[in-house]
Every structure is written in structure tokens, then in C-alpha cells.
Amino acid sequence: MQKLRLELKYVSRKIGWLFAALLIVAISGCSAGKPPLSETLNHGINFGDWKQTEALCNQILEKNPDDADGLLARARLKSMVGKNSEALSDLNKVLARMPQFAQPLGNRGILLSNIGKTQAGEADLKQYLALTSSARDVYTRYCRSVTFDYLKNYDSAEKECKSIVNSTKSATEPAALFDRGRAQARLGNNREAAATLESLALKHPSAPLLGTTLAYCYAESGQLDLAIKQCAAIAKLEPDFVNNEGVWGWALEKKGKYDEAIRHYDKALKIDEKYTYAFRRRGYCNYSLKKNDAALNDYNKALAIHSDNTAALLDRALLYHDIDKHKEAIDDCKRVTILDPKEVRAWRQLGDSLAHLKQWKESYAASSKALVLSPKNTTALCNRAWASREMGDYKKAQDDLGAAIAIDSKLEYPYYSRGLLLRDEKQYAKSIADFSQAIKIDPTNAFNYCARGCSEVRNGNYKEAIADCTKSIELNSNRLHPYLSRGEAYSALGQNTLALRDLTHVLDHHPVNTEALAERAKVYQKLHKTKLAADDLAQLKSLK
């Protein structure tokens, strides 16, 4: 069974958490037989000053309140500063007159999806795809990739992005370069995306959308200080740009500055109370600060908006797992596997949580499913090995643990697990070697010293066992097993007073520990305390 030192950060799907949050601003100028946004308005939103662009929208709408270009551009600007109801109103005005206009359908579909009206949003997005099926220009293909992601058709989304990158190798126009950079980022090529977008940012330093997209690429590629600096610069231009606060929080979170990250997520949620990403990431920050109740509350709020948000479900499952609510963790993982059967993390976590409930057959099946999807997933290999061990298939368990070590010899947990397996098979010297390797990799882990100490006792290396158990207790005095093993070692060396101290400590906290009762009875007999020995043996007999 995998210990709780699982990877705590779940990476997002193919496009990344923050980039998903930025998608609301994507669809514009993607019409099918309808006039696009004016070049001036579109350029102003992507590369210019939003205040000037909004002023231009208002001038257009003062002359003609039904002007589609002005309404669509204003809707985009409103959505980016959290004014979703106003943005939706503008889009509805356009669609009331032109219900088959692809562009506002795409925008409205994303907006509805982002505020939790998933069914209505999906209907708009499917209609958008149908209306743009024959379009081949770069911008429409980019917008289609966004739409595919919202509809969970990740393969088609990836295909569109690869096509964009391939077809824009020699692009020089700002709009094409912007689409190229965003497509690169959505494919996970964030350093290449940053290089593409940097050339634009030099020419358009006052563009909030461009600047925040660049900051996201910096954050995803590990250039965290650059990301934070970029976000700070954009905040001066547009203090209510909700996604900028999200990127800023994400960069700080990656630096481990959870309190600072929370402040930016708080601000983002003041701007847009349905910003799911901020709830989820704030939840993780609270989780990292061991504020589990606050973390659970945030995850629940995210899922109240988007009940099918697989990332939030997985985050909540991990929290449930860590606070020993394994049934709840299993429910969340199973829901994810229904929503996305190819989600490796869900199958892997499901296997781990099932193991904690000793549902070994089911744990084995879930871990095997994870390995079908990701054959080199070391955590799933370890989880399946535990299930095999508990079901008595030691060979299969050894094979899986050996495979995990071959994949990554710097991982401590497979050595620890194989050490336990070898100890079960009474191969004590080999188990000690594996525990020693685990200690070499992680000398701060109390479990490893305790496990090696137990093997040392069984191998007759009592002085070494005492040293290991003492070290384990120094690292974590709350566990009872090192006291038990050390007590056995003291007893074997005839240091009965010390043995009695350790064994009594175990029984004070766990009165029905049969190993401690049996060993203490032996010590009492050696000390000629026959009445106390008889009491322990009677208690032991009643338990058996």
C-alpha cells in the first residue's frame, strides 16, 4: 500500500489548469459567413489597451446599440474582468438577432461552461463546431481546439494545435504569432511558447491578455520569478483581470509561498465568484498548510460550480485519502474514471484508496488499469505489488517492485516495499539491504529505520536493531512499532529492564498487541515475576 507521501500536485490535463482558465478569452473573429470583429477591436483586445478598446466599443454602441462587433468585443472585455452577467447579456443580444452566428455561440458556450451551466454551454459549443467545420484559417482552428477541450475531446484539440504550430512556422503577423504561441502552450511546449510570445510582448508591452499568457508560460516552464514580475506589471494595467490573479497565485504556489498565493486567489474570487480554478488552487494551498477543513470547503465550492471537474475531484480524493476517509476518496476517483476513463491518476489513486480498505482484488484491478494506460507509473506498480503481496502472490509483487526500481532507482518507496516483502519470505539480509537503500535515498523517514530494525531483530543483529529503532523514535515518537522491535532486541540481549520499558510503552497505548504481550511475558519470566507473566499470558490466550 502506497504511503501518504504521494505526489501532492496533480498536473492538469493536456492544456494545463491556468491555460484552461484563459480559454474564455479565446474565441473571437471566428465566423462562418458572418463578419468578424473589426480588426481594430480584435487587435485592441489581444495587443492593446483595454480601456481604450472599451471606450471604442462604447462609441460604436452609442451610435448603434445592436452593432455585433461592438457587443462581441465588449463581451470579451467584460468576461475577463469577472463581469459575466454583463458579458452574457451582450452575447444574447447578438444571438437574438443572428442565432446561427458562430462567433457569439462559441463565446457564450465557454462563458456558460465557466459559470457552471455545463449543459447549455455544451449545446452552444457543439453548434459552434458544426458551423465552423469547413473553416481552415489559423484563428478558427485555434478556437476549435479550445472548443474540443471544453467538450473533453482532447485528441481533436491536440490535433488542431499541432496543425497550427506546423502551419505557422514562417508566420510574421502578430495575430498568427499569438495563435502559434498559445497553441504551443496548449501542447505543453511552454518554453517555445514563451519565446514566441516574448517577441510580441516587446512590441506590445501594454497588452494584458498577451502579458498574462506569457506569464503563464513562464510559470509552467519553471521561470517563476519572471512570471511573478510579469503578473505584477499586468496588474498595474488591469487590476481586475481575473486570470492574471490566477496566474500570479499559481506562480507563487509553485514557489511554495502558499499564504501569498491564497491572497491572489482571494482577490480573483472577489472579481469572479465562480472562478473554479481559484477555488481549487486555494484548496490545495490550504491543504499544503494543513488546513484540511478550509481545503475541503474550497474543493466543495469548486465542485458545486462544476460537478464534473475531474481535477477538483482528484484533489478532493487525495485530501479524503490523507484524512482516512477512503470511501469518499474511492467515490471521487470512480466518478473521474466514468468522466474520463483514460485518467491515469484516478485509477492509480483508486487502487491506493481501495488498498487502505483492504479490498485487495479491486485495488489490484484499478492499479492494473492505471498501468495499461501508463506502463511506467511507479506508484501504480507499488500499489499493485501491495495487493499481490496481500493476496499471496509474492512473485508478482517482486516483479512489480523490481520494475519500479528499474524505472527509477532514486525512488525510496519501492525499496521499502520490497524490503517488507523479502522479510515476509524470511530473506532478512536482502530485506536489510533494501531498507538500507531506502534510508540512503531518504534518511529522514522513520518508517525505513523501523523496518530495517525489525529485520535486524529477526536476523539476530540486535545492537544494530536497537540503533535503528532509536533513530526511528527520534524521527517519529508517535509510532509504536519501533518500541516493540527495540524491546525485542533488548530482551534478546538480556537487557530486561530496558526491554520491559519499551514493551510496556507499547501496551499502554495498545493493550491488545499480541506480540508485545508475548514478549513481555518472557521478560517477566526472566525477571521471575511469575504472576505478571501469567497475567500477560492469560490476556494473550483470551485474545487468541
Q: What is the pLDDT of residues 92-132, one digit of tens each?
A: 999 999 999 999 999 999 999 999 999 999 999 999 999 99
Q: What is d(CA 474, CA 470) in angstroms, rounded to the nearest whole number?
A: 6
- Cα angle value 408/412/416 (rounded, 5°): 120
Is the pLDDT at 2 greater than 70? The verdict is no
Average pLDDT on 196-202 reads 94
Please name which of 201, 158, 156 lies closest in space to residue 177, comparing C-alpha atoms. Answer: 201
pLDDT of residue 9: 30
Condensed to tens digits (0 to 9), the pLDDT of residues 50-106 reads 999 999 999 999 999 999 999 999 999 999 999 999 999 999 999 999 999 999 999
pLDDT of residue 278: 97
Please name which of 326, 262, 268 lies closest in space to residue 291, comparing C-alpha atoms. Answer: 262
Q: What is d(CA 371, CA 373) in angstroms, rounded to the nearest whole number?
A: 5
What is the 8-class DSSP label of residue 23? G
pLDDT of residue 543: 87
pLDDT of residue 219: 97
CB atoms within 10 A of CB 310: 22
Average pLDDT on 383-412 reads 96
Average pLDDT on 410-437 reads 95
pLDDT of residue 38: 63
Interior/surface letters 463-502, b for 16+ CB within 10 angstroms, e for the rest: ebbbbbbebbbebeeeebbbbbbbbbbbbbeebbebbbeb
Give me the residue label for grid cell 472599451. 54
What radius of gyration, in Å, describes the C-alpha atoms of the chain?
A: 30
Percentage of residues in the chain having pLDDT higher than 70: 93
**Cell triple for 209:** 491578455
Is the pLDDT at 442 greater than 70? The verdict is yes
Condensed to tens digits (0 to 9), the pLDDT of residues 334-353 reads 999 999 999 999 999 999 99
pLDDT of residue 76: 93
Condensed to tens digits (0 to 9), the pLDDT of residues 288-323 reads 999 999 999 999 999 999 999 999 999 999 999 999
pLDDT band for position 36 (cuts 50, 70, 90): low
Q: What is the pTM of this model?
A: 0.84
